[in-house]
Amino acid sequence: MQLSSSLTLYLKFFVTVFYTVFFGAWTAALWLAEGAVWEDAWMFKVVFSLAYFLGLWGMHRFFRFLKRVDVREGRFVITDYFKTIELDWRGVERIRLRKVIGPYRVACADARVDTPFSRRICFLTNTKRVQELIELYPPLKQYFSAVL
Determine the Cα–Cα distance for residues 50 and 44; give it in Å rounded to an integer. 10
Quick check: is 108 in a domain? yes
For residues 36 and 76, state if they share a domain: no
What CATH number did the domain enclosing 95 receive? 2.30.29.210
For residues 36 and 73, state if they share a domain: no
Nearest to 76 by CA among 109, 105, 99: 109
Quick check: is 148 in a domain? no
Consecutive sets of 10 residues in the chain, 148 residues long: mean pLDDT of each? 85 92 94 76 91 95 89 86 86 84 85 86 87 84 70
Quote the number of domains for the chain.
2
In this prediction, residue 111 carries a pLDDT of: 87
Domain housing 89: 68-143
In this prediction, residue 71 carries a pLDDT of: 87
* pTM of the predicted structure, to 2 decimals: 0.76
Quick check: is 1 in a domain? no
